Every structure is written in structure tokens, then in C-alpha cells.
């Protein structure tokens, strides 16, 4: 984690507010304002970088593990969700501060997650496509390409649930992850409705 990211987290927790401008933040971090701009265009860009950095670490650690390619699509997504919550546990106070000061109802999301969203949706869509190829997920016209976006809403739900979770070891969050991801894959899997649509197509083609 970069020094600037560590400094930003420290500043917000120490002052219980965000820096008012780059100059004040740079001064508190012991650097010149120009040095800050060598890495980030604004404080908002730094906030984006924090959450993207955490997610990229999760993605790298999980997708490069020896077991990842042996997982089903459902197991791959579960491991991403569990990994994400495990990653942000060490900065729960900061994450809660950021969400509390940028609270938005689902399916909206805080601005500081915009780059993480792009990365997550891309990975989720890759996992879904692998599931389609292995017939673990049903390929539905006009819908399949939107599964990644739907799973992003699931990620927002799980993160918000964790921030409110008061259970020991956040065991309720683990349960929420399992139940929500399983529901998502049950919905993306083949259902009686798919059989009805197929039968309707058959009747139409053979009328």
C-alpha cells in the first residue's frame, strides 16, 4: 500500500473528516503538494485508488491460487466475496466512515467505488461466461451480458451488510455471502421458465 493511501486513511481516522483540500493533506503527510499531483489528480482520485487497490489485491491473490481453476463459477465468486470482506476487515473503521459519509440507496453506489466497480464487473462477467461455457449458468439473450452488473449490486449489499453486522467474527456476513451468491447462481441457472420458453419456441417453429 502506498504511503499516500496510508496517510489518507490515517488523516480521516485522526480527524474524523476528509481533508479539505490537497494542500492541507499534503502538509499533514509531510510532502509537497506537487508530489501528490505526481500520483493523483485529486483527493477523489486517491479515494478511488484505495478501494481499487484493495480489490486488485484480492483478485490477484485468489485468481493466482493453485485451486482457483478447479473451482466452479459459483465457488470462484464466493471466494472473491469472502476475500473482499477479509481484505477490508483491517480497515473497517475507515470503510464505515467512507460509506457513512457517502450513503446511497442500492443500486446506487458511492463515487469512490467507480473504478473498483469496473474491475469487479469485468471479473464477474468473466466468471459468468466460464459458467456459461461449462453449462453452470444459462445463457439468456439480452440478460447474460448484464449478469456482472447484477452481481455488483450483490457486492454492494454484502459490503453494507458487513458494515452493520454485530455478530461474532462477522459470521452473519459469511452466511449473507453464501445465501446471496447461491441465490444469484440459482437465478442464473436453468429454471422451469427456461423450459417453458424452449417449449414455446418449439411450438412456434413447428406450427
Average pLDDT over residues 16-35: 94
In this structure, what are the phi and psi dihedrals at residue 138, rounded to the nearest 5 degrees?
A: -85, 130
Residue 2's pLDDT band, with cuts at 50, 70 and 90, is: confident
* pLDDT tens-digit series, residues 90-121: 999 999 999 998 877 777 889 999 999 999 99
Q: pTM of this prediction?
A: 0.88
Query: How far is it, in rounded angstroms, from Cα 36 to Cα 191?
Result: 53
Residue 66: Cβ within 10 Å count: 6
pLDDT at 38 over 50: yes
pLDDT at 191 over 80: no
Query: How far is it, in rounded angstroms, from Cα 103 to Cα 49?
Result: 19
In the chain, where are the structural domains located? 1-40, 44-190
Q: Half-sphere exposure of 44 toward its Cβ, with a 13 Å CA cutoff?
A: 6
CATH of domain 44-190: 1.10.357.10
Amino acid at each position: 500500500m502506498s504511503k499516500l493511501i496510508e496517510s489518507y486513511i490515517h488523516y480521516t481516522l485522526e480527524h474524523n473528516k476528509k481533508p479539505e483540500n490537497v494542500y492541507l493533506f499534503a502538509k499533514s503527510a509531510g510532502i509537497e503538494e506537487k508530489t501528490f499531483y505526481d500520483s493523483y489528480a485529486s483527493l477523489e482520485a486517491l479515494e478511488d485508488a484505495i478501494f481499487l487497490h484493495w480489490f486488485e489485491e484480492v483478485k490477484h491473490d485468489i485468481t493466482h491460487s493453485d485451486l482457483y481453476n478447479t473451482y466452479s463459477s459459483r465457488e470462484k465468486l464466493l471466494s472473491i466475496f469472502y476475500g473482499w470482506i477479509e481484505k477490508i476487515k483491517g480497515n473497517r473503521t475507515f470503510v464505515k466512515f467512507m460509506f457513512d459519509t457517502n450513503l446511497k440507496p442500492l443500486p446506487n453506489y458511492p463515487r469512490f467505488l467507480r473504478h473498483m466497480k469496473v474491475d469487479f464487473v469485468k471479473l464477474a462477467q468473466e466468471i459468468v461466461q466460464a459458467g456459461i461455457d461449462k453449462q453452470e449458468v444459462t445463457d439468456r439473450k439480452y440478460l447474460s451480458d448484464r449478469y456482472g452488473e447484477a452481481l455488483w449490486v450483490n457486492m454492494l449489499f454484502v459490503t453494507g451488510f458487513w458494515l452493520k453486522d454485530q455478530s461474532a467474527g462477522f459470521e452473519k456476513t459469511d452466511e449473507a455471502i453464501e445465501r446471496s451468491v447461491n441465490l444469484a447462481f440459482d437465478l442464473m441457472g436453468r429454471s422451469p421458465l427456461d423450459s417453458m420458453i424452449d417449449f414455446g419456441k418449439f411450438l412456434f417453429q413447428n406450427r
